[in-house]
Structure 1
Amino acid sequence: MKNCFLVLLMLLGIQQIEAQFTRKDSLQGGLRPERTCYDVLRYDLNIKINPDDKSISGYNDITFQVLKSTSKIQLDLFKNMQVDSIVLNSKKISYQREFNAVFLDFTAPLTANTQESIRFYYSGKPIIAKRAPWDGGFVFTSDAQKKPWIGVACQGTGASLWYPCKDSQSDEPNLGATIKIAAPNGLTAVSNGRLTGSEDLKNGYTRWDWEVKNPINNYDINVTIADFVHFHDNYKGLDLDYYVLRDNEERARKQFEGVKPMLDCFQSKFGEYPFANDGYKLVETPYLGMEHQSAIAYGNMYLKGYLGHDRSQTGIGMNFDYIIVHESGHEWFGNSITAKDIADMWIHESFTTYSEAVYVECLYGYEACQIYVNGLKATVNNDGPIIGKYGVNHEGSGDMYSKGALMLNTIRHLVNDDDKWWKILLKFSETYRHQIIDGETVIQFFNTETGMNLTNVFNQYLRYGTIPRLQYRLNKNRLEYQWIAMVTDFDMPVDIKIDGKKIRIQPTTNWQTSKYRVKKLSEVEVMTNDFFINVN
């Protein structure tokens, strides 16, 4: 009866999780035929942003390949934004709106293996973020000189809060994008890629034209507007461009020197910077930061650590600017390698948080890396699964950051061969460079490359809000041990020391009697800095 009751509770919990999602969620997060029938090739965005009334107007030219003949496709634009018209071959297309989805109806079916381009005119006042970047939306504020300072962050909420697109991480514009932003004269509009020119429109606005040559995910496409100072550098052949508020140029020139050791480290561990032909930029924003591809949002106030604090609580995090290191790590993990569904956002955040520890190791050595990554344990809540629910635009627990990094540190020590570990990380980054993947692909890659079956390990850390617990005891001076874990037949190896000698044991979810004789438990030390586990 007890087991039946537990099963009933689990089923009720699953039903409650299912019930919290709606048709609106599945329209945003799902992959129905109206989305899978075509593949986006490029976006060409041309808009004006008016800081006085906080509005946007303009259009997006959306070029796509028809994969399967269809009379209907889905695009996305938040319902508070106005669809002015949608045009194909100079003719207006009829459409219907449902929540934030826009369904285009074609009088003649689009034929498979053909290329089409529609122009989507729109306007309106986008939602304003209450606490960017943790909620999506625009920030309209002013600098110290009372000049407009505008930014937007939309990860998770959806890029369609400010421009029409196929708002799914499963599809990126393969051929890149152009982003043309008209802003009031005297201000600079900065976006992704390279600046190809600017033009005074003779109406009080100047249009700034940017081009991205690489695939780019929707939430990475961005704009920041301010009275910017621009300065340029080139480091080992890579163009570095910085756009900062006029009053902050001196501080920025000093602080942004930290970009160079970061690039040296990450390129040595993860491979060449993935977007060299688009350059690398830091852009000062009125919010903390975001990994906008080739135009990283920077708002850390030129402080070391995370707004002057050390997330690891070890002191080591005060040696570097957290936003420069973390958000730049996303260029490899999140921007180059992108999760197909945000339920697998751990692919972005776990690897990028681990990249902070990698940076520490590059500059300060292995021991400092271990101290730093273990310091992140204090930020783990174990409040639920890291993997979200697929198809409904749902992210998992915020533990995807620190707990995910500690999971990777655990796998490193399971591999127990650092030369092999670094080769695996490099191969992972290079194998899936500029690709969209899912969590199962990651797990299978690490299974293959390590030569170990790590599926149970990934499942325990990603799918449950607890970490494994190692229990051990003495029975007639012999050491016995077992795992307490949510994964059935969990059997992760773990390292211990007996009288200072390192030993690898292979516990299961049943008590095992080892060959090791121990007089008292104090002689046993479990390597909890190498393995993220509980012990009793």
Structure 2
Amino acid sequence: MSKFLVLLFTLFSIFSIEAQLLKKTASFTEKDSLRGSLRPERTSYNVLHYDLDIQLNPTERFISGKNTIRFETLNELAKMQLDLYQNMQIDSIIFGNRKLTYERKFDAFFITFDEPLPTETQYKISVYYSGRPKVANNAPWDGGFVFKKDQNGNPWIGVAVQGDGASLWFPNKDHLSDEPDEGADIKVSVPDALMNVSNGRLIAETPQEDGYTQWHWRVTQPINNYNITLNVGDYVNFKNQFRDLDLDFYVLPYNLEKAKKQFAQVQPMMECFYEKLGQYPFVEDGFKLVETPYLGMEHQSAVAYGNQFMNGYLGTDLSGTSYGLTWDFILIHESAHEWFGNSISVADIADLWIHEGFTTYAESIFVECTQGKDEALSYLYGIRKNIKNERPLIGDYGVNHSGPSDIYYKGANMLGTLRSIVNDDDLWWKTLGSFVADFKHRVTDSKEVVAYFSEKLGEDYSSFFDQYLNYKDIPVLEFRKNKKRVDARWRVHAKNFEMPIDIGFVGDEQAYRLHLTNNWIKTDLRMKDLENLKIDIFHFYVDFEFLDED
């Protein structure tokens, strides 16, 4: 695609839109606050490790077992909040050798200790529970369990709970700000004919006395609660290697040959991401793709895959360019989350654009590695058709409220625009790589990410991010006649906004950069120049408008 989209104007009219900050339409309840906020019952302790040990009965769709939580007190802890959906039964809570009482409130439950626990001390608490977990209507968009049968009539079960939270199926401190620092042990017992695949590495396969087999998996690195998973089915396994990284693939037996062919894309994907983003962040736990009865999810070190072994997004290209049909969307997108979302995580789901915007941008990185920069930019431009600009990318804090679907496509195009502003690819890739390295296995937020990019890129980009993240409208480039000359400015909500834009003219391939603010600036453009003006909306995700003379 040409660097510039040609915009020819011979007639100008007054056209003014007063954009307003999106009104808050969501109504939040105490239940939302209990789920999303941080109070002393949560902030006074830090989770170190989960030891989940459950049995799953596929026929009854029933879970029973326990989660033993090892934690460290950060402040004196008199009362602890944990979380488990109301439809799941708490059977008992054991602390030391004592059975503790608790109080339930919506999907949270509160444990009051006999005496406040002193600070900087480690403890274990075990929550025994049981019940039939919520079944998803349309996973992964609607959270819950998926109970299906494979083509041979065997149970095939998965779970996806991003947004809904891991407390949908096991008790935990269900807040993104606190990942278990030392990982998790995940022990799932299923009928002997089936296998369970969870995060990390397989530690043991242990037959039980009741016709069940326990599959014990261990994650050694920090992990988001919603990334902890199980996958139950009649799986077969094949392996591969990328440098020092172990690659494991679990698929249904009749899809083995298709999987071997399709999953060959992991090798070029790793080559690309290692070059642009750095080493896979969970080498110790390995990398797995697991075939699932739903489309996909970024479960750390056990990426859920359900794209039916075809390229694109179930055979379609979300960009409309055809560049997305040469690779498997779910394989690339969900695997890229290992860097953005799993390694670099957010403290509040309101900042989920950091997970999804960078990951969607990683799709274009893969296109650039395999097809070229122009093709990658065309891909980014193509996915703009999915942007709605109905509300800001950042959601409401403290109530488990994320931004809209624009966190994917608009988030990626915001980053593409920033790259164009920087106009120095060596600096861009160096900064992106250092971001991944410096924030590895860290929980962060929008403020910290914005400050980091401003520091590393050598300019204050806070107003740029402010406009794209906190307001639904993108910057509008306004031109106005001023006698024989032309004034220009950005119409934005963000204060002290500055951003360059590249322009050109029909018949002239050279780009000219205008440095503009949210105040009117007299340019060197003449009125007759506007007849052949080209505005680069290919590299910059902005809009434009021409006004009559004041």
Asked if Structure 1 and Structure 2 have the same fold, meaning a TM-score greater than 0.5 normalized by the shorter chain, the answer is: yes
Give 1:486 deviation, angstroms.
2.2
Instruction: Identify which of 317, 341, 346 aligns with 2:324.
Output: 317
Question: Residues 274 and 331 of structure 1 are in contact (CA less than 8 Å); yes or no, is this contact kept in structure 2?
Answer: yes
The AA in structure 2 aligned to 1:227 is D
Rounded Cα–Cα distance in structure 2 between residues aligned with 1:140 and 1:534: 46
Question: Residues 43 and 176 of structure 1 are in contact (CA less than 8 Å); yes or no, is this contact kept in structure 2?
Answer: yes
The AA in structure 2 aligned to 1:535 is F
Q: Is structure 2 residue 167 aligned with structure 1 residue 155? A: no
Per the alignment, residue 515 of structure 2 pairs with 506
Q: Is structure 2 residue 74 aligned with structure 1 residue 46? A: no
Instruction: Identify which of 21, 26, 39 aligns with 2:33.
Output: 26
Per the alignment, residue 223 of structure 1 pairs with 230
Instruction: Identify which of 417, 435, 457 aligns with 1:450.
Output: 457
Structure 2 residues not aligned, in runs of 5+: 1-17, 546-550
More helix by share: 1
For 1:160-175, list aligned pairs within 5 A.
160-175=167-182
Per the alignment, residue 3 of structure 1 pairs with none
Per the alignment, residue 243 of structure 1 pairs with 250
Give 1:485 deviation, angstroms.
1.6
Question: Residues 146 and 293 of structure 2 are in contact (CA less than 8 Å); yes or no, is this contact kept in structure 1?
Answer: yes
Q: Is structure 2 residue 282 aligned with structure 1 residue 275? A: yes
Per the alignment, residue 142 of structure 1 pairs with 149
- Which runs of 4 or more aligned residues in structure 1 lie more than 6 Å from their structure 2 counterparts after TM superposition? none
Question: Residues 474 and 521 of structure 1 are in contact (CA less than 8 Å); yes or no, is this contact kept in structure 2?
Answer: no
Q: Is structure 2 residue 165 aligned with structure 1 residue 127? A: no
Rounded Cα–Cα distance in structure 2 between residues aligned with 1:277 and 1:440: 30
For 1:27-426, list aligned pairs within 5 A.
27-426=34-433
Rounded Cα–Cα distance in structure 2 between residues aligned with 1:304 and 1:25: 38
Structure 1 residues not aligned, in runs of 5+: 1-5
Question: Residues 232 and 241 of structure 1 are in contact (CA less than 8 Å); yes or no, is this contact kept in structure 2?
Answer: yes
Question: Residues 127 and 138 of structure 1 are in contact (CA less than 8 Å); yes or no, is this contact kept in structure 2?
Answer: yes
Per the alignment, residue 472 of structure 1 pairs with 479
User: How many matched pairs?
Assistant: 526
Name the SS for the 2:369 alignment partner. helix
Name the SS for the 1:472 alignment partner. strand
Give 1:464 deviation, angstroms.
1.4
Question: Residues 48 and 58 of structure 1 are in contact (CA less than 8 Å); yes or no, is this contact kept in structure 2?
Answer: yes
CA-to-aligned-CA distance 1:359-392 (integer Å, 9 cap, x gap)? 1001111111111110011000111111000000
Per the alignment, residue 495 of structure 2 pairs with 488
Per the alignment, residue 9 of structure 2 pairs with none
CA-to-aligned-CA distance 1:143-184 (integer Å, 9 cap, x gap)? 001100000000000100000000000001101110000011
Name the SS for the 1:129 alignment partner. coil
Rounded Cα–Cα distance in structure 2 between residues aligned with 1:465 and 1:285: 35
Rounded Cα–Cα distance in structure 1 between residues aligned with 2:297 and 2:149: 20
Greater displacement, 451-460 / 277-286: 451-460
Rounded Cα–Cα distance in structure 1 between residues aligned with 2:529 and 2:353: 41
Rounded Cα–Cα distance in structure 2 between residues aligned with 1:178 and 1:456: 44
Q: Could you tell me the TM-score, scaled by structure 2's length?
A: 0.94
Instruction: Identify which of 435, 439, 442 aligns with 1:432.
Output: 439
CA-to-aligned-CA distance 1:388-437 (integer Å, 9 cap, x gap)? 00000000111000000000000001110000000000000001000000
Rounded Cα–Cα distance in structure 1 between residues aligned with 2:428 and 2:517: 25
Rounded Cα–Cα distance in structure 2 between residues aligned with 1:525 and 1:515: 15
Question: Residues 235 and 253 of structure 2 are in contact (CA less than 8 Å); yes or no, is this contact kept in structure 1?
Answer: yes
Give 1:501 deviation, angstroms.
2.4
Give 1:477 deviation, angstroms.
4.4
Per the alignment, residue 536 of structure 2 pairs with 527
Give 1:496 deviation, angstroms.
1.3
Name the SS for the 1:281 alignment partner. strand
Rounded Cα–Cα distance in structure 2 between residues aligned with 1:256 and 1:217: 25
Question: Residues 181 and 189 of structure 1 are in contact (CA less than 8 Å); yes or no, is this contact kept in structure 2?
Answer: yes
Name the SS for the 1:520 alignment partner. helix
Rounded Cα–Cα distance in structure 1 between residues aligned with 2:70 and 2:379: 46
Name the SS for the 1:459 alignment partner. helix
The AA in structure 1 aligned to 2:84 is L
The AA in structure 1 aligned to 2:467 is Q
Q: 1 or 2 for the larger relative contact order (CA 8 Å, sep ≥6)?
A: 2
CA-to-aligned-CA distance 1:50-88 (integer Å, 9 cap, x gap)? 111101000001000011112111000001000000101
Name the SS for the 1:326 alignment partner. helix
What's the C-alpha RMSD, in Å, of the aligned pairs?
A: 1.5
Question: Residues 217 and 335 of structure 1 are in contact (CA less than 8 Å); yes or no, is this contact kept in structure 2?
Answer: yes
Question: Residues 474 and 520 of structure 1 are in contact (CA less than 8 Å); yes or no, is this contact kept in structure 2?
Answer: no
Question: Residues 180 and 210 of structure 1 are in contact (CA less than 8 Å); yes or no, is this contact kept in structure 2?
Answer: yes
Rounded Cα–Cα distance in structure 2 between residues aligned with 1:101 and 1:445: 35
Rounded Cα–Cα distance in structure 1 between residues aligned with 2:101 and 2:78: 11
Rounded Cα–Cα distance in structure 2 between residues aligned with 1:210 and 1:100: 27
Question: Residues 21 and 472 of structure 2 are in contact (CA less than 8 Å); yes or no, is this contact kept in structure 1?
Answer: no
Rounded Cα–Cα distance in structure 2 between residues aligned with 1:497 and 1:520: 10
The AA in structure 1 aligned to 2:167 is S
Greater displacement, 117-126 / 496-505: 496-505
Question: Residues 188 and 208 of structure 1 are in contact (CA less than 8 Å); yes or no, is this contact kept in structure 2?
Answer: yes
Over the matched positions of the two proteins, sequence identity in percent amounts to 50
Rounded Cα–Cα distance in structure 1 between residues aligned with 2:237 and 2:247: 11
Rounded Cα–Cα distance in structure 1 between residues aligned with 2:464 and 2:517: 12
